[in-house]
Structure formats: structure tokens, C-alpha cells
Structure 1
């Protein structure tokens, strides 16, 4: 048996994770991430919001690039 297993039922997915595979903190963080993804999926972001997000990322990268890449 694998350490992480996915079972499919008619109305849900069941994920089984061997306790020795991950620690509790990692699992809690994964569940929080899944909840955030679910909430984000419920919003209808328009193209304007996506363009703003891309501009914010580009600006951040321009300001912080030197911290990660030595030129």
C-alpha cells in the first residue's frame, strides 16, 4: 500500500495518508491551502483583477530580483 491513497466514491474523494508520511503541521497547512483554493474558486475575478495581480508581481520582482539573482 502506498503512503498516500486516493479513493473515489460517487459523491466524494477520500484521501488516506499514512501518519508516518507527514507530520500534523504539514497536514494542517495542506488543509488550510485546500480551503483557500476552494474559497478563491468561488470568486469571479475579472480580467482587470488578473491584470492588476500580474502588475503587482512584476513590480515586486523588479524591486527584489537582486535578492535572488546576482547579476
Structure 2
């Protein structure tokens, strides 16, 4: 399985970063956050950037529900 770097973003700043192994970018986000996600809404301040470390591709997701309070450590 590929490795993904999942970054919690507040605007253009990285608030937290995690590396996980998952089947795809969406699964990587769900492993880290445990919440529902959607395609990135460009108006959201809080969003997630996911980099496929094998392919070098970047994915962006919005959060459709609040993450657990301990998400950003």
C-alpha cells in the first residue's frame, strides 16, 4: 500500500502532519481524522492536503464534520 502525508491546514499554514499507509488518499484522511470528508471547498479555512509519497500527487479535501479535539497535536 502507498504512503500518504496528511496535513491538516488552517488557511495556508500546516497545523498538523501525519504519515500513514492506506489504499487511497481518501482512506488516508479517514484514518487520521476519523471524520467525513468531501472534495476541497476553496472557501473553507480548515482543510486537508494529502500527498501520495509514491506518485507525488496532491489531493485536497474539506472536512464535513468536526475532527476530534486531539487531532492537531
- Settle same-fold status: TM greater than 0.5: no
Q: TM-score, normalised by structure 2?
A: 0.19
More strand per residue: 2
Structure label with greater radius of gyration: 1
Higher relative contact order (CA 8 A, sep 6+): 2
More helix per residue: 1
